[in-house]
Amino acid sequence: GTYKGNLPYFNGTTLFARHCLQHDYAGRRHICNSNDYGVFPGIYTFLMNGTQLARGPTVCFRAFQVYITKDQAILTNMGSTGSYFQPPIDTHLIDTLINTPSIMKCAFTCERNSVCRTADYNISTKTCRLFETVTSAGAFVADPTTNILPFNYCTDDQQIEPYCVCTRGNTYTMQQIFDQLALAPNISLSTSIISIYANMYGVYLGTSGSLSFLTYTGINSSYIPFSTQVTGINPTPDNGLGIVQYNANTSTIYKNIGTSTQPQLVSILSISSLVLPYSCVITSQYMYITYSNSYVYMTIHDLSSGSVVFSTPSISLLSNRPVVSYWNDTIIILSQYIAMEYTLNGTYKGNLTYFTGEQIFVRHCIQYDYAGRRHTCNGGGTYPGIYTFLMNGTQIARGPTACYRAMQVYITKDQAILTNMLSSGPAIMNIINF
C-alpha cells in the first residue's frame, strides 16, 4: 500500500468522470473516460511507460473490456446508461432474450450473431435485445434500468458507417463490395421471380404464381401457391410477412407459426384494396400500400381491421408500379425517378434527391440496409441499374447496370449477398465472404 507516484495520463483534474482500467495479456493498459464529464472522453490504450498507442470509441461509460484471443478481438462497451434503443426500422429488432444473467452475456450473444450490431440490456428484467442496425442509426430513449451496447467494427475514425461497410475482418467501400460481387459466381434462381425480400436466414421469392422461401444453403423450405403474381414482399415486426398480389387487388399479412429457417405462414389479415396494388411496407402500427396506374399513390391501413386511415391526395402524374419503404419517421415512395417523402401518418414532406427527369414506365425497387444506405434499382430509363445513396442523397456506389423491379442487398458481418431480378432470364444471386 505504499504510494509510488502517478502514471503519465491526461493533464488536468476532471471532476465526476467515471473510469475503467484494464490490462490485456501483453500489458497494454486500456482506459475508459466516461463521456458524461471530462475533456478526453472515450477509450484509450497506453503502453506501460505512458505512451498512448490508440484511441477507440469516443463513447464509453464506466465499464468496458477489450479481450483479444489468437483468433478474435472482442470489445464489450457500456456505451450509454439510462436509455433503451429504438431502431430506425421495427424489423431491425432481431431477437429478445429473457433471463439473460448479465450484461456481459448479452454482449457476447450479440457479438457472436452474424448480423447483430447493437444490443440493449435491462438490468431489472434481465432482458437482452439484439438489433441488426448500427447504434448511430437509431435513437436513445431514456430508461434508467437499461444500457445500450454498441458494436463498432470500424477501426479508423475516417472510415465509418454508413460511408463504409465495417465487417469483422476489414472495412470496405460500398463500391468495393459491388465490384467483388460482380466477380462472384452467378447462382441461378427461377425465371418467374417478380419480388424479393432477404433476411439473415434466406430470401423470400415472389413469382407469377407463388411465394417461396430459399435458405442460403439452397433449401426451399416453404411454398404457397397463388392465382396471381406476388409483386411486393415486406416483413412485419413479429417475424411475419406482408405481400401484395397485383392482379388480385389484395394485400395480405401473414403470421409465421414456424421457425425463421422453416417458416409456416398463416394469413391473419387480408385487405381488398384499390385497383392494382403493387408494394407494401408494415410498421408496428400501419400497413402502407402503393398502387400502379393511379393518381392516388398510397393508402395507410390500420393493422387490427385493415380499414383505410389515410389516402394520399391525388397528384397529376400517373404512377407506374411505385415502391414504398421507410426509415425512422419517414415513408418513401419511388416512382419514375421521383422519390417522395411522407410522415408516418401520410403528410407530404417533399422529394428526396434522386436522378432528375421524369422516366415513364421505369420499374423501381428501394431498400435500406442496416446502416441506412439506400439501395435503389432503376429497371430502365436513362440511369439503369443499382445505385447506393446516403440519407442526404449523396451517391456512393453503382452496382450492376441491369436490374428489373426487384433486388436485395444484404450485408452481414461475414458476407455480402446480392439477389437481383433481371428483365429476362433467371434471377441471380451473388455471395462474397469477408
DSSP per residue over 227-261, as a string?
SS-EEEEEE-TTS-EEEEETTTTEEEEEEE-S-SS
pLDDT of residue 384: 93
Write the single-letter amino acid at 349: K
The CA–CA distances, whole Å, from 424 to 66, 213, 215, 405, 420 equal 51, 22, 24, 12, 11
| pLDDT on residue 17 | 63
Residues 6+ apart with CB under 8 A from 289: 244, 251, 271, 273, 277, 279, 280, 298, 299, 301, 324
371 and 330 belong to one structural domain = no
Residue 177 lies in a domain: no
Q: Tell me what pLDDT residue 37 has.
A: 47
Name the pTM for this structure: 0.83
Q: What value, to the nearest 5°, has the Cα angle with vertex 391 and ends 134 and 387? A: 100
In a domain, 162, yes or no: no
Q: Are residues 297 and 382 in the same domain?
A: no
My answer on whether 303 and 414 are in the same domain is no
Residue 202 and residue 426: Cα distance in Å, rounded?
A: 18
Which of 337, 360, 383 is the last residue in one of the domains?
A: 360
Beta-strand pair 230-235/165-166: unpaired
pLDDT digit string (tens) for 411-430?
A: 999 999 999 999 999 999 99
Confidence at residue 78, expressed as pLDDT on a 0 to 100 scale: 65
Q: Which of 293, 290, 213, 214 is nearest to 254 (CA)?
A: 213
Whether residue 369 is found in the same domain as residue 356: no
Of 360, 380, 404, the one marking the end of a domain is 360
Domain co-membership, 283 together with 323? yes
**Whether residue 353 sits in one domain with residue 253:** yes
State the pLDDT at residue 43: 87
Q: Which three cell numbers stand for residue 321?
A: 408500379
Are 259 and 342 contained in the same domain? yes
137, 371 Cβ separation under 8 angstroms: yes
Residue 413 within any structural domain of the chain: yes
The domain tally of the chain equals 3
- Both 327 and 390 in one domain: the answer is no
Tell me, yes or no, whether 214 lies in a domain.
no
CATH code of the domain containing 297: 2.130.10.10
Q: Which of 306, 325, 360 is the last residue of a domain?
A: 360
Q: Given this model, what pLDDT does residue 345 score?
A: 95
For the chain, residues with pLDDT lower than 50 are: 36-37
Q: Is 347 in the same domain as 377?
A: no
Domain membership of residue 272 (yes or no) is yes
Kindly give, in sequence order, each residue whose CB lies less than 8 Å from that of residue 259, ignoring residues fewer than 6 positions away.
Answer: none
Give me the pLDDT at residue 56, please. 79
280 belongs to a structural domain: yes
Domain span holding position 335: 238-360
DSSP state of 43: E
Establish if 126 belongs to a structural domain.
Answer: yes
Instruction: Please indicate, yes or no, whether residues 369 and 286 belong to a single structural domain of this protein.
Output: no
Separation of alpha carbons 149 and 63, rounded Å: 11
346 in a structural domain: yes
